[in-house]
Amino acid sequence: MKGRLHPFLVASLWLLALLWLLPMAGALLVSFRTLDDLTLRGFWSWPEEITLANYVRAWEEAGVRRYLLNSFIITLPSLVGVLLLSSMAAYALVRFRFRWAFPLYLLFLAFNMVPFQMLMLPVFRLSNQLGVYDTYWAPILFHTAFQLGFATFVLRNFARTIPPSLFESAVIDGAGEWTLFRRIAWPLMLPGIAAVATLEFTWIFNDFLWALVLLGRDELKPITTGLANLRGQYITDWPLIVAASLMATVPTLLVFFGLQRYFIQGLTLGATKG
Amino acid sequence: MRRTPWLQSPAAFLWLPLLLYTVWVIYPTFSTILLAFSDWDGVSPQWGWVGLGNFRRLFQDPAFYQALKNNLIWLVVFLAIPTSGGLFLAYLLNHPLPLDRFLKVSFYLPLVLSPTVIALVWAWIYHPQQGLLNSALATLLAFLVWAWIYHPQQGLLNSALATLLAFLRSLGLPVDPEAARSLGWLGDPKLALGAILAAACWRQVGYVMILYLAGLKTLDPEVVEAAQVDGATGWILFWRVIFPLLMPITTLIVVISTVDSFRSFDLVYILTRGGPFHSTEVLANYMYLAAFHDYQMGYAAAIAVVLMAITIVPIAFFLRYTVRREEG
């Protein structure tokens, strides 16, 4: 849009942006202070000493290292599964003309919007019946399955922009469907896949509820439920809890700043997150 | 005509995604409806049917109505604050500005953080002694008291300060700087819900802003310029030209806000577990506690079914919108 903003509006915008950054900036400052200093003198005071001890204790003693590792063990296989299966489904829904293509697309879309409360109890029961409750498999299988709805929805709309003539000419050259999928559809869907991958990584990595429902053992907990655990354990040791929280955000921040364009694109492509 | 080999058919690509989706998503959705008519406790292999018993109990449960009311408050606040705030920010940030990327990132950064991290950081902010908020209030009050005591002349500034302090006292707020450090934001039933909602809005504003920014990018610049040539500026341009053009996105945001408010769980569960005295209770948290603390799966399923009945309206609306767009 053209035209300049009134300086007063620009100033308010800056003030508001700084206010929005204050919680995280404040958390960053607190993570370098000692508990005694904070308790005695409050946050808005000059720190008596700067220390890295909170980070060291969170990493070693409070188990952030283990929790972060668990997060990756759960997130990466789920992500690969979602991307592979949803791109296959998207390809099938676009490439083949069959009566069920549109109803199936709607099925993926509709159940993606079902509130998680409707799934919670049967998924818990199912994971028990399949014998995967309280193993890494439970969240991996569930995330892969549930995120298929959103990913298929977005990728199918992306795949529709591929001109059908590209497939047809390859068929004349004797290529089978799997070759078409691998050699033509995947490379052309890649920007969409990148957008979906960025979002799905963030969502699965940040998931709290399903880790709470499907995992009981502390050794298996990802960083989200692990952190909530720390709060019970270190009750009011805020410098430590805040330091641990900040470490938990590093992986998603890296993905976000590395692939920011795709993240925003993904959010606006399908604003129906589940 | 030759039959297509199975490996070259859509079934080869679709069977595995569909199987997983059916087992983990579609079947559970219907299964919850059945569970709502049972007395399953989550552990025993044997359970019976109780008909409408769970629903009858639910509609006489004061905590359920409190949760429902809080979810509705959540929805009203989401529609009022982050929606208009996000629109306003997107409109301003759509103008050429130095360092606009920094400004945008500061607003949508909370979106990248996990709800757990948001909850813990805000739990710290609200902590009476160590938190950011009370410490800020105490420092501010100490300054006000200092300015008042040490400059007792009848100047305009000082009489304004005196009025402010008297006003704060009349509200029952602690004016003594040390007392400000004992304000329990999450422990006081009158303050707790507002405190949680502040954290929720802090996150939601960036999301709304991104959606509106994307919408503003798709506006036809010629339409806007034509309106400007006709003399529309400022508020007129915004309300009469731009806002109506953004209507599809506004509709989408209203649907998302509705669904999101009825799903709110993580912040409440981590910050207060619905307390004190159910003052921050929401349906999702009440359901979780019924299921995994009281082992009343049937009762919890009934809560889920009521929640589904409420959110099915915006969901159906959204689906219809998507199908129409597809056909049109």
Give the gap in angstroms from C-alpha B26 to the nearest C-alpha of chain A.
7
If asked whether residues A46 and A100 sit together in one domain, one would say: no
Inter-chain touch B181–A107, beta carbons under 8 Å: no
Instruction: Kindly state whether residues A164 and A52 are assigned to the same domain.
Output: no
As a whole-number percent, the residues of chain A with pLDDT over 70 amount to 97
CB contact under 8 A, B24 and A121: no
Asked if A118 lies within 8 A of B115 by C-beta distance, the reply is no
Residues A81 and A207 both lie in one domain: yes
Question: Are residues A199 and A120 part of one domain?
Answer: yes
Q: Does some domain include residue A2?
A: no
Q: Are residues A21 and A139 in the same domain?
A: no
Q: CB-based burial of residue B100 (10 Å sphere; 0-12 exposed, 13-18 middle, 19+ buried)?
A: middle
Within this chain, do residues A43 and A175 fall inside the same structural domain, yes or no?
no
Q: What are the structure tokens assigned to B165, written together?
A: 């302090």
Instruction: Print burial letters for A129-160: b (CB count within 10 Å at least 16), e (below 16).
Output: eeebbebbbbbbbbbbbbbbbbbbbbbbbbbe
Which region among A78-87, A260-269, B134-143, B202-211 has the lowest average model confidence (pLDDT)?
Answer: A260-269
**Angle in degrees, CA B147, B153, B157, rounded to 5:** 55
Contact check, Cβ <8 Å, A145/B24: yes
Q: Please indicate, yes or no, whether residues A12 and A65 belong to a single structural domain of this protein.
A: no
Residue A49 domain-assigned? yes
Chain B residues whose CB is inside 8 A of the A249 CB are 112-114, 117
A199 and A154, same structural domain?
A: yes
Chain A CB contacts of B102 below 8 Å: 17
A26 interaction partners in chain B (CB closer than 8 Å): 125, 132
Total beta-carbon pairs less than 8 A apart between chain A and chain B: 286
pTM for this predicted structure: 0.89
Is A221 within a domain?
A: yes
Domains of chain B: 53-105+215-327 (1.10.3720.10)
> Rounded distance, CA B191 to CA A258, Å?
39
Q: Does A11 contact B at CB distance below 8 Å?
A: no
**Contact flag B308-A43 (C-beta cutoff 8 Å):** no
Interface test with A, best of B75, B103, B112, B114 (most A CBs within 10 A): B114
Residues on chain A touching B202 (C-beta within 8 angstroms):
20, 23
A32 lies in some domain: yes
**A1 to B224: CB separation less than 8 angstroms, yes or no:** yes
Judged by CB atoms closer than 8 Å, whether chains meet at B112 and A252 is answered as yes
Evaluate if residue A272 carries a pLDDT over 50. Answer: no
Position A98 in a domain: yes
Q: Is B252's CB within 8 Å of A20's CB?
A: no
Name the residue facing A120 among B23, B97, B291 (closest C-beta): B291
Q: How far is B100 from chain A (nearest CA, A)?
A: 10
Report the residue from B114, B130, B211 with minimal CB separation from A206. Answer: B114
Q: How far is B154 from chain A (nearest CA, A)?
A: 30
Q: Which of A164-178, A208-222, B154-168, B189-203 has the lowest mean pLDDT?
A: B154-168
Name residue, tokens 């009469």: B240
Are residues A31 and A66 located together in one domain of the fold? Answer: no
CB contact under 8 A, B10 and A264: no
Residue A177 lies in a domain: yes
Minimal C-alpha gap between A241 and chain B (Å) = 8
The answer on A251 and A138 residing in a single domain is yes
Cβ–Cβ < 8 Å for A76, A205: no
pLDDT for A250 equals: 93
Strand partners, B38: B49
Q: A124 touching B, CB under 8 A? A: yes
Residue A274 lies in a domain: no
> Do A90 and A221 fall into the same domain?
yes
Q: DSSP letter at A169?
A: H
HEC profile for A6-59? CHHHHHHHHHHHHHHHHHHHHHHHHCCCCHHHHHHHCCCCCCCCCCCHHHHHHH
Nearest to A224 among B116, B283, B315 (CB): B116
Cβ contact (<8 Å) for A24 and B130? Answer: no
CA distance A44 to chain B (A): 6
Query: A132 at the B interface (CB within 8 A)?
Result: no
Q: How far apart are CA B138 and CA B126, in angstroms?
A: 13
Contact assignment for B319 to A96 by CB distance below 8 Å: no
Q: How far is CA A98 from CA A95, A105, A158, A252, A270, in A?
A: 9, 12, 19, 40, 24
- Residues A138 and A228: their CA atoms lie apart, in Å, by 20
Residue A93 has a CB neighbour count (10 Å cut-off) of 25
Residues 145-204 of A with CB under 8 A from B: 145-146, 148-149, 152, 176-178, 181, 202
Residues 6+ apart with CB under 8 A from A140: A74, A77, A78, A81
Counted domains in chain A: 2
* pLDDT < 50 regions, chain B: 1
For residue A234, is pLDDT > 70? yes
d(CA B262, CA B281): 12
Determine the structural domain holding residue A142 and report its residue range: 61-269
DSSP-derived 3-state class of residue A161? coil
Residue in B120, B224, B308 nearest the CB of A118: B308
Q: What is the pLDDT at residue B178?
A: 67
Domain harbouring A232, CATH code: 1.10.3720.10
d(CA B311, CA B260): 10
State the amino acid at position B85 in one-letter form: G
Is A56 within 8 Å of chain B by CB?
no
Q: Is residue A1 part of a domain?
A: no
Q: Identify all chain B residues contacting A125, using CB atoms and an 8 Å cutoff.
A: 31, 42
Query: What is residue B9's predicted lDDT score, i.e. its pLDDT?
Result: 84
| A176 and A257 belong to one structural domain | yes
